[in-house]
């Protein structure tokens, strides 16, 4: 055969690969409201930038049920492309080929891509739409005993390059720990699920009858378990969310995050900031109203918005610079920290610190929750994770005390002792080991009991105590750097972030700390 005939044969093979798992399976994929794997990659990457590797891969299983079976690309499309001009690697499962199950050849491809991401220091994005391990190939101890390397390799990648696992279909068992180890996990509402064991296995092993949606749908993982970060309405929104997320991060931990356009004036003062915090220090308000007034163009990419709602975390830009925001939310549980809020903060702070993204803390925290329920849940252990993460973080840190800064809540929200590069207070700030009511009841218990009018005496003492915890007292001791007009928050934070750009902190050498997980 001459070269032209050989190229024709190559083109015939490529045409066949473009048909994925066949017309019928593709029609089922579309009927389920899902894009095909190649349509997804076309949207994920910049136009015409995707380079595929392993397209001609196929299964080599000798199990009788696999005889004569075709598995185009062996059920997973792998390669690299560009997102906003920067290289990104991908592993995208194809549900039209044996339900996107993980075959041996497919996994060889995935391993190759993980190695590319690691050695070239570029982010890795999984698009997961897979029934899990291909039982026809994995059953029996022969191959299984050497498998599982995918998770070990993912752990090695963690904190070196950004890892995104987009749930765009099922992710069962073998594919469920991929999101478990990833940095960012969006889930498509209605079509995606994840569970260590799918409904048939659950039925067989523990006898429970449950649908995949109830077991591990997007609502479960974005509102109850906290495993996923974001529920998105469809595939298109999911792929856009992946692109948006990555825009805040560098390609690897060796680089600073890319700057966006500084096209929102750094000295913009928003009068609305004077109206957000109610006059009564006990009244709730929505912390989002402050966040959106101080970040560039009001754009805030919130993570886990429906889980542990008493704490807000997310990404934004200020003066064009990427910044991670950790803010208490008085609207839920009064902003008090519980086990899930502490986990949410610890994870987010670790994420930002790993990738050189500065942190902004907005404090209005009445403390950690107390009582039998949270003690039994291990609030000390969970709170310790947040302490650990905030203390360990060496990225630029800026703290704004909006209102309450009570107890250990003040510490973990990057109080003065946690190396903030700047810490400022609004005039409404209350900084204290505990709130006035609690403190007065403990310190003056006898005096109140002996008073002719105990309630009146308590009120008088509370007012007296409240004057001791205001911002000018701590500013007078030079323990907060300044008291600011709320409208000065944006310019102040941006200047502090610019000061801290060259921040270097060296810690003593250690292999690693002992995580209080």
Partner 1 sequence: MPEEVRAHITGVVFQVVAQAGSKVAAGDPILILESMKMEIPVEAPRAGVVRSIPVAEGQTVQEGDVVAVLE
Q: Is the Cβ of residue 93 or residue 444 nearer to partner 1 in the bound state?
A: 444
Q: Which residue is listed with tokens 């080929």?
A: 97
Distance CA 95, CA 516 (A): 39
User: Where are the extended beta strands (E) located within 470-513?
Assistant: 482-483
Min dist. Cβ of residue 443 to partner 1 (A): 15
Min dist. Cβ of residue 342 to partner 1 (A): 15
User: Where are the extended beta strands (E) located within 5-99?
Assistant: 51-53, 76-83, 86-93
Distance CA 424, CA 400 (A): 5
Q: Is the Cβ of residue 178 or residue 440 nearer to partner 1 in the bound state?
A: 440
Q: Is the Cβ of residue 196 or residue 331 nearer to partner 1 in the bound state?
A: 331
DSSP state string for 152-169: HHHHHHTTTS-EEEEEEE
CA 511 to chain centre: 25
**What does the radius of gyration of the chain's CA atoms come to, in whole angstroms?**
26
Q: Is the Cβ of residue 327 or residue 336 nearer to partner 1 in the bound state?
A: 336
Distance CA 362, CA 27 (A): 49
φ, ψ for residue 499, nearest 5 deg = -60, -40
Min dist. Cβ of residue 283 to partner 1 (A): 6
Min dist. Cβ of residue 327 to partner 1 (A): 16
Min dist. Cβ of residue 307 to partner 1 (A): 13
Q: Is the Cβ of residue 35 or residue 327 nearer to partner 1 in the bound state?
A: 327
Residues of this chain that bind partner 1 (CB under 8 A):
280, 282-284, 330-336, 366-367, 369, 371, 373, 435, 437-438
Among 225, 173, 171, 228, which Cα is nearest to 197's?
A: 173
Q: Is the Cβ of residue 339 or residue 352 nearer to partner 1 in the bound state?
A: 339
Min dist. Cβ of residue 292 to partner 1 (A): 17
**256 within 8 A of 250, measured Cβ to Cβ:** yes
End-to-end CA distance of the chain: 63
Min dist. Cβ of residue 174 to partner 1 (A): 36
Q: Is the Cβ of residue 80 or residue 410 nearer to partner 1 in the bound state?
A: 410
**98 within 8 A of 71, measured Cβ to Cβ:** yes
The CB density around residue 223, as the number of other CB atoms within 10 Å, is 16
């Amino acid at each position: 055969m001459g070269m032209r005939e050989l190229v024709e044969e190559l083109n015939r093979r490529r045409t066949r690969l473009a048909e994925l798992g066949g017309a019928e399976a593709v029609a089922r994929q579309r009927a389920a409201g899902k894009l095909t794997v190649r349509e997804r990659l076309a949207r994920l990457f910049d136009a015409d930038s995707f380079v595929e590797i392993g397209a001609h891969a196929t299964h080599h299983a000798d199990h009788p049920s696999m005889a004569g079976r075709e598995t185009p690309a062996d059920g997973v499309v792998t390669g690299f492309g560009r997102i906003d001009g920067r290289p990104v690697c991908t592993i995208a499962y194809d549900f039209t080929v044996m339900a996107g199950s993980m075959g041996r050849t497919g996994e060889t491809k995935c391993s190759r891509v993980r190695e590319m991401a690691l050695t070239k220091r570029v982010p890795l994005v999984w698009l997961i739409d897979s029934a899990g391990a291909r039982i026809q190939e994995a059953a029996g101890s022969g191959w299984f005993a050497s498998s599982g390397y995918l998770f070990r390799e993912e752990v090695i990648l963690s904190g070196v390059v950004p890892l995104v696992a987009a749930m765009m279909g099922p992710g069962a068992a073998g594919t469920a720990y991929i999101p478990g180890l990833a940095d960012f996990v969006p889930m498509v509402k209605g079509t995606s699920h994840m569970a260590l064991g799918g409904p048939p296995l659950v039925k067989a092993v523990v006898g429970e009858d449950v649908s995949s949606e109830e077991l591990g749908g997007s609502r479960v993982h974005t509102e109850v378990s906290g495993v996923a970060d974001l529920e998105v309405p469809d595939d298109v929104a999911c792929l856009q969310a992946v692109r948006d997320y990555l825009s805040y991060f560098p390609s690897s931990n060796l680089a600073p995050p890319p700057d966006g356009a500084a096209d929102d004036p750094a000295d913009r003062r928003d009068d609305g900031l004077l109206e957000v915090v109610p006059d009564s220090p006990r009244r709730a308000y929505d912390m989002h109203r402050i966040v959106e007034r101080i970040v560039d163009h009001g754009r805030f990419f919130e993570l886990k918005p429906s889980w542990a709602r008493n704490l807000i975390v997310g990404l934004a830009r200020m003066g064009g610079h990427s910044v991670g925001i950790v803010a208490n939310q008085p609207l839920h549980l009064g902003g008090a920290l519980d086990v899930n809020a502490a986990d949410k903060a610890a994870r987010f702070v670790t994420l930002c610190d790993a990738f050189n993204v500065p942190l902004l803390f907005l404090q209005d925290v009445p403390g950690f929750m107390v009582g039998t329920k949270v003690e039994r849940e291990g609030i000390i252990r969970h709170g310790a994770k947040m302490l650990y993460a905030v203390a360990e973080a060496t990225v630029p840190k800026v703290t704004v005390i909006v209102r309450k800064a009570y107890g250990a809540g003040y510490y973990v929200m990057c109080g003065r002792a946690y190396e903030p590069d700047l810490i400022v207070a609004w005039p409404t700030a209350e900084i204290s080991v505990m709130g006035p009511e609690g403190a007065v009841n403990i310190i003056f218990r006898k005096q109140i009991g002996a008073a002719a009018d105990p309630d009146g005496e308590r009120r008088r003492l509370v007012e007296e105590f409240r004057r001791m915890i205001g911002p000018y007292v701590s500013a007078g001791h030079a323990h907060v750097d300044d008291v600011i007009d709320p409208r000065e928050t944006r310019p102040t934070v941006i200047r502090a972030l610019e000061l801290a750009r060259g921040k270097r902190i060296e810690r003593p050498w250690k292999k690693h700390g002992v995580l209080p997980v």
